[in-house]
Amino acid sequence: MSFRRKHYDDMEMHTIQTLGQKWASKNPQVSDYACNVFADKIAMLDIEIELLKSALESEKDLEAIEVLEVVRENLRRRGEAIYIMHSDVLTNLGLKVGKTGIREISGKKKQGGDSHT
Helical segments of 1-117, H only: 3-26, 30-33, 39-54, 59-85, 89-97
Rounded CA-CA distance 111/24 in Å is 47
Predicted confidence at residue 117, as pLDDT, reads 45
In a domain, 32, yes or no: yes
Predicted confidence at residue 28, as pLDDT, reads 84
In a domain, 2, yes or no: no
Rounded CA-CA distance 29/39 in Å is 10
In a domain, 117, yes or no: no
In a domain, 22, yes or no: no
In a domain, 97, yes or no: no
Angle at 95 between CA 89 and CA 96, to 5 degrees: 90
Predicted confidence at residue 5, as pLDDT, reads 59
Q: Which distant-in-sequence residues (6+ apart) come within 8 Å of 105 by Cβ? A: none
Per-residue model confidence as pLDDT tens digits over 57-70? 899 999 999 999 99
Domain that holds residue 56: 28-90
Q: What is the mean pLDDT of each run of 10 residues along the chain (117 residues)?
A: 57 67 86 95 97 92 96 98 95 85 61 50
In a domain, 67, yes or no: yes
Rounded CA-CA distance 95/50 in Å is 32
> Total structural domains in the chain?
1
Per-residue model confidence as pLDDT tens digits over 79-89? 999 999 999 99
